[in-house]
Amino acid sequence: MQIPRCSGPGPHVGIDVSHYQGDILADLQDRTDIAFVIAKATQGSHYSDPEFHITWPGLKDLSILRGAYHFYDTRYSPEDQIQHYARTLGDLEARDIRPVLDIELASLVTPTPADELTRVLLIALGEMERLLGRRPILYTSYEFAQEYLTDPALSAYPLWLAEYSSSEEPRIPDVWQLAGFQIWQRSDRYHVGSETTDLDVLQGSCMDLIR
């Protein structure tokens, strides 16, 4: 499968966006260095990002490898959240990045011990795979993973790691020491036109994000 803007072994540069960046599509038209974009789709069991319905088809029109993430919220059941995400997203196309689940400190709207968080996350990840037919990617930070994501079962899911650093390599959470990371979010101060967003680096092939 040929992926425009995203061929070869890498590294490849990508960004992730939400409504905070506004309509970023115009700024991406001439940015051939950006290989992939992951957009916020949903949060909790009811909220949909107000720019997603514009960004999602727009990325396809620009022939940019696209993905969509769900921001987990501990107030809602994992099944309800992922069903909401799947309805909002619709069917993933063959060239789209696998589904993405975002879990971070702001997700813990209700106090949730690590073992309970792991339990509901595994349900959510399994529901994503069941509904969308591909194993999801898990986004989190190094610090959050070290405190809350300590169950080896989570290492079955590819890691999108937030670890802001000027180092050549990020710190890897203990659970993913053997598997490593798939995407490294290494900065939250990357500029695309007039907008500031996160900088994501994929070390391997873009096909790794799809299959």
Domain extent listing, the chain: 12-209
Is the confidence at residue 22, as pLDDT, over 80? Answer: no
Is the confidence at residue 127, as pLDDT, over 70? Answer: yes
pLDDT value of position 1: 54
pTM across the whole model: 0.94
- Annotation: CATH topology of 12-209: TIM Barrel (3.20.20)
| Residues 60-101: tens digit of each pLDDT | 999 999 999 999 999 999 999 999 999 999 989 999 999 999
20 — pLDDT class (breaks 50, 70, 90): confident
pLDDT value of position 103: 98
Mean pLDDT of 51-60: 96
Between helices 114-132 and 78-89, what is the axis angle to 10°? 30
Is the confidence at residue 149, as pLDDT, over 80? Answer: yes
